[in-house]
Structure 1
């Protein structure tokens, strides 16, 4: 006959396990990553008694966590996307704040060109000239301040890169250790260890985009990028940071074991956001700011050189600005050097370039890796030309695999400065004046008169242009020259364009401007630089370039805000779905507690009944 005592004890023990599991669930109701545990029971094999079977009690088969691999994987993916979106939003927000803060470049530009107009209104006024130089200093300080803030944000990204890589390595090592403990466990897998591992994977996914592969031995392998292992079985593989091959101050993410650069292969999580922000928002913003500085300096300097100052000297450089930066790859084995200069500001873009040598020819690629067509041979007499730049090779021979990175405008804003300190050296006046003889019978008139070669010693020598026919002229009695409408007349370092058609006997005079102190002709043209098309083939002014910068950063910030809201909603949905299966419901656990408590008490009564029957049998035998 079945053992009533054993049956009661099995029920008591089963209820005890149930009570312990409920208590464990309630205790961990607020533990992040904890999965609700459930007890599985099964009836013991019955005992045959003649033509029937009698039950023998219950066995506790397992204590398992409520778990869905699909929902957990969806949660990890959502955590990776949210980590990236939140980090990206924070970084773009900082950049937008920098542009809209006290260092507002558009206000500085407006103030500077306003003071230029004041000089045009009173070209001989020393105070107006002094204010102009002060406003110019304020403008360059604004450029420098913005550049410094961008550099500071870049330094912050550098520090966050290093910190995030360290956190990834720590979490990867933790997952590998948990893999080892889980693999070493016998029988049923330990639910609490599995939860700890899942919680670490969720944390890791917020730091970097990962893929997870279950293994037959109960371990999980974790990969980043295009299959780079972070965890394989009980072994973790560290990421590291190393200096960029072109710029020792710029960190790249690498495989610590092999040194292979992984930056371009990493996406998702905080690390992906940092790398993406640096490459796709911060670098272009720095380039665009530098492009605006180059446009200002180039256009203003060019026009300033067309005037004369209060000392009667041609206008010199008004703004100093850094040219393109060239960085040789650290892996170069040849001795070739490269210099770069701006040959056409209107064709200058906002991206960097890499010039590479394959052993027989040089090729140029832009920041996206696309090939850029070049002209020239790279010599001083025939430099390579592309994208508004000229490249000249020197130093010696290059070896196959050598390369150089060219940053046309990255450092321009940080290095722009006012070149003059003497107000008298502001070239507000036109250096030359042209006039038509009163007896002229044609309708030709003085058009543009400009300085073509300021070093010509005869620049200020008066010259007379006399037409012997509508298509032929001579200068100062010299040989006859052919006149073509629209083609400049060039002599003694000046260039003159006549509008209309001259007639036989017409004459024109070009001479030094004797009223330079009170003349504002060049000042007016300097003021017009504010709206002068300089970049993008003459379509974009200096202010327009800054507007493009504000627009591209603002757009990135707006998209980042939208992405953060969307990814937060997706994460919350994934978390709710995962918790609907794995989360602890305190009300449900309270009901289970009552159920197991009653089962425990009932099993105790069975044991008590078995004891009573046993005592009755003993009494009957004694009597």
Structure 2
């Protein structure tokens, strides 16, 4: 009877462990990262009794997790991809909102050039001129507002990077500490399930920030590496990463490893990798494109404005001011060379940033992406280094081998744009020359466009009298006869004049310098035409089209980011579903298990009761 009692007690204890495990599962149904636990049972070694074996009951041999390393790592990988896509989509949405928000640059451009046309219609009207200055300042404010919004997004990426590094270090320390606790708690081969779940949950959180590679070590400890193999956790030791200023641009944060080397470009997955990718592939090109448009506007408008004369009779000066390209020296430079850059040809100006390096003898130039850029020149004032519409000089100091400089031709141009004119009289609406026809002309010749081709011609301001000696011949200031046909262009000293129709003999036309307050609108018309003038990309792209390209560029990145997010979310959902089908707590299943163990517990209690009854009956028989 002792064997029956022992058998009943074993079943009671085994069922009790099963009940405890089910209760633990039910209690943690809402615990993040919890893995369903299973009680394993084994029959005790039977006792040989003559020609047969009698069973001795059962033992609860282990409580283990319903766990698959493959499914769990699939979730970690999907976590990294989804988190990266979510971060990228959020940041591109912010950039998209900036370019398509209330501070719409295209509207400001249209308003500005509309005001220029108004001045062309009333070139001496003070109100029209004042309105032009107002629209110019509004346009500048829009450029600066967009630039400021991009700068704020840049600062946001810095904050994201800093927060991510703090989280990575904290999670790495937590994983290392859990490694130690798990190793100490792994007694006799038993696994501390809840500690394992806590470690997996920490790794899952880490995988959202940066892609992880996890390998199982001894004593149930894991090694965790990130990026291109940087060991972040090794046993109970964790490696700290840190932020540091970009070696060129101190307004930018980079990530450095324990040796101080920059590892920013090695973190491709997770939200942190997305932040760097966004900064490189969306934000910087957008800021450069905006600055490129500002430079194009300033350059084209200033050049045309310089060809006119204002109400004071003076040649037009700069209408806009804009800063020169930014040049940053590397903090590791050992020489004292100073480098400057200027835009010399807007038509060749691209949207790349550059790194210029000195090898001890010669300078070489690449884009920040590492693409070699052909260059000429030695860097002196007389022989500047020429690349993509830029002239780069080293006006002072001596470079040392290994020194480098980063050049940002357009990045901050929009924020430096300003209106150079405050006096309405300084607007050079009048062309430098005016064309007229004789009052006594009897033919049908009419004046067409008077175009300035070279205002530096020494005889540019010399008055010219054109006299037709016949309908098909004319002289210029009494010179030799020249032939004429309807629609011909007459070329003078730095100008051309188009005529149409057939003049009569003795008809005259004149070209002379325009006087102050003349009411001429020749230059205002040319200024209004700057809106339609190809400036960038070797004279192909207008300022307005450049902005449209910016909108399309950011919009396309946003659309691609949203598509990627949908795809990565689907992958994560599938990976999570597969993992939870194995490891998740199912309340229906647990309820069934609870009932099963309750019944087995009660049955085992009945076995114990039966053993007790039989034993009492035996004692009574002996006493009788």
Task: Decide: shared fold, TM above 0.5.
Answer: yes
Rounded to whole Å, the distance in 2 between the matches of 1:525 and 1:447 is 11
Change (3 A) 1:400 1:487: farther
Instruction: Check conservation: 1:429, 1:519, Cα contact below 8 A.
Output: yes
1:613 aligns with 2:576: no
Aligned counterpart, 1:39: 39
Q: 1:224 aligns with which of 220, 223, 226?
A: 226
Answer yes or no: is the 8 Å Cα contact 1:309–1:315 preserved in 2: yes
* 2:540 aligned residue: 539
Distance of aligned partners of 1:446 and 1:55 in 2 relative to their CA distance in 1, 3 Å threshold? closer
Deviation at 1:489, TM superposition (A): 8.2
2:30 aligned with 1:27: no
Residue 434 of structure 1 deviates from its aligned partner by: 6.2
CA distances 1:113-164 after superposition (whole Å, capped 9, x unpaired):
0011000000011100000000000000000111111111111111111111
Alpha-carbon contact 1:436-1:446 (below 8 Å) kept: no
What per-residue deviation string (whole Å, max 9, x for no partner) do you get for residues 162-182 of structure 1?
Answer: 111111111111111111111
- What is aligned with 1:441? none
Q: Which runs of 4+ in 1 moved over 6 A?
A: 434-438, 463-466, 474-478, 486-491
Matched residue of 2:579: which SS?
A: helix
Q: Call closer, same or farther: CA 1:423–1:555 in 2, change over 3 Å.
A: same
**Partners of 2:45 and 2:154 in 1: CA distance:** 70
What are the superposed Cα offsets for residues 273-299 of structure 1, whole Å, 9 maximum, x if unpaired?
A: 111111111111111110010010000
1:475–1:355: structure 2 CA closer, same or farther, 3 Å change rule?
farther
| Equivalence for 2:495 | 496
RMSD of aligned alpha carbons:
2.9
Distance 1:580 1:272 in 2: 30
Residue in 1 that maps onto 2:369: 368
Identify the residue that residue 13 of structure 1 maps to in structure 2.
13
1:407 and 1:489, CA in 2 relative to 1: closer, same or farther beyond 3 A?
Answer: farther
Q: Deviations over 1:209-237 (max 9, x none)?
A: 12112223311111111111111111111
Aligned to 2:210: 208
How big is each residue's C-alpha offset from its partner over 1:381-418, in whole Å with a ceiling of 9 and x where there is no partner?
11111111111113222111100000001111011110
Question: SS at 2:218's partner residue?
Answer: coil
Q: How does 1:83-482 map to 2 (within 5 A)?
A: 83-184=83-184, 185-186=186-187, 187-255=189-257, 257-433=258-434, 448-453=451-456, 460-462=461-463
Alpha-carbon spacing, 1:604–1:183, altered in 2? closer, same or farther (3 Å): same
Tell me how far apart the structure 2 counterparts of residues 434 and 29 of structure 1 sit (CA, whole Å): 90
Contact (CA 8 Å) 2:298, 2:320: kept in 1 or not?
yes
Range with bigger deviation, 357-366 or 422-431: 357-366
**Alpha-carbon contact 2:316-2:428 (below 8 Å) kept:** yes
- Point out where structure 1 has 5 or more consecutive residues left out of the alignment: 439-444, 467-473, 479-485, 501-506
Structure 1 position 305, deviation (Å): 0.2
Counterparts of 1:446 and 1:67, CA distance in 2: 83
- Shift of residue 606 of structure 1? 1.1
Is this contact kept in 2: 1:428–1:522, CA < 8 A? yes
2 CA distance for matches of 1:175 and 1:593?
A: 34
- 1: CA distance, partners of 2:385 / 2:436: 43
Note if contact 1:433-1:449 (Cα within 8 Å) is conserved in structure 2.
no
Instruction: Report the TM-score, using the length of structure 2 for normalisation.
Output: 0.91
Question: Is 2:309–2:516's contact at 8 Å kept on the other side of the alignment?
Answer: no
Change (3 A) 1:326 1:334: same
How many angstroms apart in 1 are the aligned matches of 2:4 and 2:464?
A: 131
- Aligned partners of 1:2 and 1:54 also within 8 Å: no
SS of residue paired to 2:13: helix
Q: Deviations over 1:405-464 (max 9, x none)?
A: 0000111101111000011110001112468999xxxxxx9963245439x7x8645478
Residues 446, 496 of structure 1: 8 Å contact kept: no
Where structure 2 has 5 or more consecutive residues not aligned to the other structure, the ranges are 442-447, 468-474, 480-487, 500-507
Aligned-partner Cα distance in 2 for 1:166–1:36:
31
Give a deviation string over 1:70-111, Cα, whole Å, max 9, x none: 111110011111111111111111111122221010000000
SS in 2 for 1:374: coil
Q: Is the 8 A contact 2:310 2:516 kept in 1?
A: no
> SS in structure 1 opposite 2:94?
helix
Aligned to 1:75: 75
Structure 2 partner of 1:469: none
What is the DSSP-based 3-state SS (H/G/I as helix, E as strand, rest coil) of the residue aligned with 2:45? coil
Q: Distance in 1 between matches of 2:232 and 2:262?
A: 15
Aligned positions, number: 599
Shift of 1:465: 11
1:530-609 counterparts in 2 under 5 A?
Answer: 530-609=531-610
Give SS of 2:357's match.
Answer: strand
Q: Matched residues in 2 for 1:499 and 1:141: separation?
A: 40
SS at match of 2:283: helix
- The answer for the alignment partner of 2:471 in structure 1 is none
Deviation for aligned residue 1:516? 5.0
Contact 1:431 1:516 in 2 (8 A): no
- The answer to whether the 8 A contact 2:44-2:58 is kept is yes
Contact 1:342 1:389 in 2 (8 A): yes
Distance in 2 (CA, whole Å) between partners of 1:189 and 1:508 is: 104
With structure 1 as the length reference, what TM-score do the two structures score?
A: 0.91
